[in-house]
Amino acid sequence: MSLVELIAQADERGLAASGLACLDRCVPLLGGDDEILRPLWASLADGNAWGDRLKEARTRLDADAPEPAAADEDEAVVLARRMLDAAPAECSAADLRPWADACSVAALQIHRMLDAAEDGASCVTSRREGRTDGMSPLVAAELRRQVTVLELLADHGTGGLRPALDVSTEGRRVLRAVVSRRARGRA
């Protein structure tokens, strides 16, 4: 099943986890530490305080925002910031579906911009629809993570949150390493 189809079929918790996981993997661009979005993940498990925890995360990330080092990183930061700013305060499928979909596109685009290898597609839309020929390694890994998060939540409900967080943590470490490597290359 394609990523687009998985998002279309996801329930509220799956949509929230999908969007949050995309944002979580891109949080190094916003200067956030590994724990900054943990309260939001916890709100998905306990069903409480999403709006309050989102507001706290925004405040903390606004205070920690670094200056981008290069033009493509600046564009990536803008995309990551949009994910955070567009996160809905209410956890309803009507609000979460367009956000999760936009986060998916933005996260893939960020990975595409920061990948040293060239991606063979003209845009990430074809990747989300299942066409993977000529895909760059960083984009391929991000696409796999997005699909995995949605499948975990669809198959295991609340029990899929912990493994989804683990998938997101792995992706965040990869992106942090890519950004760090690029910064060393410019130095």
Query: pLDDT tens digit string along 79-92?
Result: 999 999 999 999 89
Domain residue ranges of the chain, discontinuous segments joined by +: 3-186
| 169 three-class SS | helix
- Is the model's pLDDT at 5 over the cut of 60? yes
Q: Which residue has the tokens 């099943």?
A: 1
Helices (H), 34-136: 38-46, 50-64, 71-86, 93-114, 125-128
Computed over every residue of the chain, the mean pLDDT equals 90
pLDDT mean over 40-61:
92
- Is the model's pLDDT at 78 over the cut of 90? yes
Residue with the bigger pLDDT between 123 and 81: it is 81
- Is the model's pLDDT at 4 over the cut of 70? yes
Q: What is the pTM of this model?
A: 0.92
- Is the model's pLDDT at 128 over the cut of 60? yes
State residue 33's pLDDT score.
87
Q: Which residue has the tokens 């066409």?
A: 131
Residue 43: pLDDT band (50, 70, 90) is very high
pLDDT mean over 159-183:
93
